[in-house]
Structure 1
């Protein structure tokens, strides 16, 4: 049986060391526990051990588990189809994966109708992988300019999924480019845009991501063990 307490402690130690190497404070970085395929009782155990931020890839899985978990802040970290936006827009604290104007418009419309705002990140396909979703890097600034007037959205940063490689050092340029994009957007000083978050780094590469500026890391296997 996986020892969650030990795994969480080890992940936090590694996060703290990476933060110090980059001249940052460990408390600046939020650990999002990726709960894909994990049963609710194990998720609740993790929450009781201090993991408050929970990340799900699929809308249906998130909605199925959410009623059984107390004390967690839910993040949608996987691809969101426009036709499922209505099911989840008000169920999460942050959507990491906005990658189309159609999706942004749908979320904006629903939030405005309810007198609320949706916290979002833009997903960027930095490496240009055909198998992954996300905006091309050169499309980010035009996209940000386009959604600046969407008063139902609150843009809080950028997200990427790096290629799966044997050596994490190989994807350092991916994380570095996302950090550069963040600075480029910040320099525009657009109203309603707060580039607070860089969501990047998973079990295989989160230390390199932190060294390059990540302050949201999405970790599943290192906490819950290999998925079956």
Structure 2
């Protein structure tokens, strides 16, 4: 890790209140960089593509891996022994597959339900209106532990503060109904993490704010 990145991470962490968990979004980052994260105060890495997670994954002392992207049911079996939290549970078929594959392995997998805002057909997640029924369904799965909610703001949203407040209210309702298992509200990335924290987030997923711009292979 170069000195500029070290300073960027140090300065970033100074802004983060205690009690807020930082999950570094490590898409297109090297495993060499990820391995150094715990030494600089970053103890969780989030990957959003199964193929990249599999190519990069290795146990790193002091670091947990999360899956934060859309998860296809046919790829569930490849990541269960590698991640400690799946943040993007968004549909019944995925809950069913996770339960099936976890049962085969004798595992219990912590999950967050992804909530969507807006009516875009391409956006992943459960609608706010359908959240409680879906949460009840997930809670009925023996090998899944519902730990909270995750959301991604619509691109260019000018209502992020309003939508984050709305998601926090959903989180509070979930906690009232289901108790202490509901502990994580994952919202906020590099461009809006402070707004997210101000509106109740206790888990953020920054990437560029920690590591600088991504460089894609051409």
Fold conserved (TM > 0.5)? yes
CA distance in 2, matches of 1:133, 1:161: 9
Matched residue count: 214
Matched, 1:224 2:215: no
Q: Go from structure 1 to structure 2 and tell me whether the alpha carbon gap of 1:157 and 1:79 turns closer, same or farther (over 3 Å shift).
A: same
TM-score for the superposition, normalised by structure 2:
0.91
Determine if contact 1:40/1:69 at 8 Å carries over to the other structure: no
CA distance in 2, matches of 1:189, 1:102: 22
The CA deviation at 1:68 is: 7.0
C-alpha deviations, 1:135-166, integer Å up to 9, x for none? 11111111011222201000000000012338
Q: Go from structure 1 to structure 2 and tell me whether the alpha carbon gap of 1:7 and 1:163 turns closer, same or farther (over 3 Å shift).
A: same
Secondary structure of the structure 2 residue equivalent to 1:188: helix
CA distance in 1, matches of 2:137, 2:36: 42
CA distance in 1, matches of 2:147, 2:183: 5
The answer for the alignment partner of 2:166 in structure 1 is: 177
Secondary structure of the structure 2 residue equivalent to 1:187: helix
Secondary structure of the structure 2 residue equivalent to 1:127: coil
The answer for the alignment partner of 1:90 in structure 2 is: 81
CA distance in 2, matches of 1:101, 1:77: 17
Matched, 1:214 2:215: no
- 38-47 vs 77-86, which moves further: 38-47
Return structure 1 stretches of 4+ with deviation > 4 angstroms.
none
TM-score for the superposition, normalised by structure 1:
0.87
The answer for the alignment partner of 2:30 in structure 1 is: 39
The answer for the alignment partner of 2:185 in structure 1 is: 198
The answer for the alignment partner of 2:21 in structure 1 is: 30
Gaps of 5+ in 1: 16-25
CA distance in 2, matches of 1:34, 1:160: 14
Give the CA RMSD over aligned residues. 1.9
